[in-house]
Amino acid sequence: MQLNQQQLEAVHSISQPLLVLAGAGSGKTRVITEKIRYLVRECSYPSKNVYAVTFTNKAAKEMQERVKGTLTREEAKGLKVTTFHRLGLQILKKHGHLCGLRKGFSIYDQRDSLSLLTDLLGDSDEAKLIQMQISNWKNDHQSVESLQGCIQDELMQNAVQAYADYREQLLTYNALDFDDLIFIPLQLLSTNDEVLKYWQREIRYLLVDEYQDTNLCQYELVKLLMAHKTGLTVVGDDDQSIYAWRGARPENLHKLHEDFSNLKMIKLEQNYRSTGHILNAANHVIRFNPHLYEKSLWSSLGMGDAITVDEFKSAQDEIDFVVLSIEENAALVGNDYSQFAILYRGNHQAKVYEIALNMRNIPVRVVGGTSFFQQPEIKDLISYLKVIANPEDIASLLRIINVPKREIGIASLKKLVEFSKVNQLSLYDALKHDQLGAVLGKSLGSKCHDFHRILSQTKIQLDRGETRAGIEYLLDKIGYDDYLREKSTSPKSLERKQKNIEYLVNWLDQYDMPFEEILSHLTLISILENDSEQKDHNAVTLMTLHSAKGLEFPYVFLVSMEEDILPHKNSIDNDTVEEERRLFYVGITRARQKLALTYCRQRKRYGEWESCTPSRFLDELPEENIIWRRPGETSSKEQKEQVSSMFSDLQAMLKN
C-alpha cells in the first residue's frame, strides 16, 4: 500500500521540527518506519545517530521488526529503536558516575522500592501512598530540594522527608528506581553542558511515538536533547491520551509550539482500519471534549454495519448475549476466534466472560492481569473439589495436602507415599488408616485423619446437591480464610482473594446438576485454559480498554456501558470524565467491521441487586449510526427497515 499525500509529506519533512497529529488507524507506525528508512537511505543520516523512542518494550520491538523490513542489515546497523527508560539507562551507563552512581548500579522495580520504603516507614500501606507520591514528583521533575521549604501541609512535609530518606538510601545501595531512569538523566543534562552537548551530537534525529503520553520529565528530556535542532518528529493524538493517572500530559503536544517556534504540523486523518459508521460515532463522541487540535477521521472502506447498542435486564443476560453472538459470528468466519475482542473498563470484569466462554468450549486469552482460573486461591479450591470427586487425582491431592499448612513436609509426604505402597492403598485412603500415626507420629497422623474426614463430609453434602453449604463447610473446617489472611500482603489483596472465592462458589451453586457433572465442567475449563496458553493465537481476546490501545479487531464487544463503570465512578467524583470519554473513543476505534455496545439495568453487588444507569456516553452517539435494541422494543431503524420491506412485498403482490 502506497503512502497517502499527508503520510508522504510527514516522511519527507526534515527541515524543521515536526508534529504528526495521527488519528486512530491512520498508519502512524508506518510513517515512522518509512521516515527512518528515508533518513538513512535518502538523506544519509548515520543509523547510529537516529533514535526512535516509544513507551513499551513491546512497541519498540514491533517497530524495530518493521524497520528491519525497510533497510538492509548494514543500513540498520547501530539504529536505536528504544523506550524512554532505556534511553535514560544508556545515558547513565555512559555518564552515571557524574551523579554519584558506581559501576554495576542496580535498578529497583516497584516491589523493591516498596520494600525499601516500608523498611524506612515501618508501615506498608503508608509506603504505598508515599511511593505513588514520589513517583508523581519525579514525573513532574520535582527534586527533594525544589520541594523543601515550599510545602506547608504537615503530611506532605513528612512525604518530602520520606522522599529525601529514600533517595539517600538508594544512593547508599548504589541503586535507582524505575522513575530515576528518566529523572536523573534529565538532572544531569540540565546541569552539565558537556554531557548535554555529547548527547546532542549523538542523537542527530529523534522520532517519538505516542507523544500525548509523555509526562513533564520526558517532555523536558526531549526538549533539552533537541534544543535549537530541526531533527525532531513527534507523533501523537490528544484524543487518545488515556494515561493521566500515571502522569501523562496531552498538553505537551501544544507546548511544542511554544518551545519550537518553527514547528510544522501535519494531520493524518484517513483511517485504514474502520468502516464509516464506526468512525462517524468516534468523531461525534470525541467532539464533546475540548480539543487542542481539531481533526476528523474518514475512511474509504464504506459505511459497513451500524453500531448496535443492546440493553439487558441483568448482567447474566448481557454475558449470555455476548458469548452467543461470538459463537454465531465465529461460525461465519471459520471459527477464527482471534477476530473477536471483549473490552471492558477494569480487569475484574474479565472473569465472568472467561468462565462463560470456557463453558461454551470457546478458547479465550486474558490480556493484562492473571486469568481467573490461574489465581492461586481458585486453583486451590478447584483442586479440593477434584480430590473430593476423584480421590485418585494424585496431582490435585499433592497440591492441597499441605494447604493450609498441616506440617506435611517433604519428608512426611515421602513416608505417607511409602506407607500407601506397602499397604496397597491409594494416597487418599492412606490418610485415614489407623496405623498411620505409628509412621508419621500421633499428632501428624491425627491431622491426616481430620483432613480425610473433612473431605468425606464435604462430599456427602455435595452429593446431596448442597453445593454452597458443602463448600462453605470445607472452607470453614480447613481454616482457609485465616490462610488467605496470612498469605495476603494487604487488606485489598485479601478482599480480592475472598471475592474470587465467593464468585466461584456462586457460579458453582447456580447449576442444578450432580456434583460430578459440575466438576466435569471445571475440568474442561482447566483443559481449555491450558490449551489457550499454548494456542492463544486462535482465541477470543479479553482485555481492558487501556490494554487495547494500538490494537484492532474485526469484531469488538464493549461491555458494561454504565455510569460508575464507564465513566468510572472515580472520574465522576474527581471531574475527570474527559479522560474516560477518550478511553471510550479508543474502544470505539479498535473495531474494524462490527462494534457492539452493551449494558444492563441491574447488577448483583455484594449479594444485593443494584440498579444501573446507562453510560452518558451512549447518549452522545449519533443516532444515524446506531441501532438501539431494548427488551421488548424494536429500534426505529429496524422499524423503518420492516416498513420498507412490507411495502416492497405489497408492491410485488400487486404486480402479480
**What string of DSSP letters covers 459-511?**
HHHHHTT-HHHHHHHHHHHTTHHHHHHHH-SSHHHHHHHHHHHHHHHHHHHT-
| Pairwise CA distance, residues 252 & 219, whole Å | 7
Which of the following is catalytic: 29, 133, 142, 169?
Answer: 29
**In the annotation, is 209 catalytic?**
yes
CA distances from 131 to 115, 151, 245 (A): 10, 18, 14
Task: Look at residue 295 and give its three-state secondary structure.
Answer: coil
Which of the following is catalytic: 549, 581, 590, 594?
Answer: 590
Which of the following is catalytic: 180, 209, 354, 393?
Answer: 209
| Pairwise CA distance, residues 238 & 581, whole Å | 12
**In the annotation, is 210 catalytic?**
yes
| Pairwise CA distance, residues 212 & 243, whole Å | 9
Q: Where are the alpha helices (DSSP H) in 50-101?
A: 57-68, 73-76, 84-95
- The β-bridge relationship of strands 608-611 and 602-605 is antiparallel
With cell 459463537, the residue in question is 327
Which of the following is catalytic: 210, 238, 377, 579?
Answer: 210
Report the 10 Å Cβ neighbour count for 514: 13
**Which runs of E-coded beta strand occur in 194-231?**
205-208
**In the annotation, is 240 catalytic?**
yes
| Pairwise CA distance, residues 43 & 77, whole Å | 16
AA letter at 10: A
Contact of 225 with 87, CB cutoff 8 Å = no
| Pairwise CA distance, residues 299 & 272, whole Å | 6
For residue 155, report the phi and psi dihedrals to the nearest 5 degrees.
-60, -40
Radius of gyration of the chain (CA): 30
Which of the following is catalytic: 6, 7, 28, 458?
Answer: 28
For the record, the C-alpha cell of 301 comes out as: 472502506
| Pairwise CA distance, residues 171 & 18, whole Å | 39
CA distances from 495 to 380, 476, 498, 617 (A): 17, 17, 5, 31
**In the annotation, is 148 catalytic?**
no
Which of the following is catalytic: 54, 218, 233, 240?
Answer: 240
What amino acid positions are annotated as catalytic residues? 28-29, 209-210, 240, 590
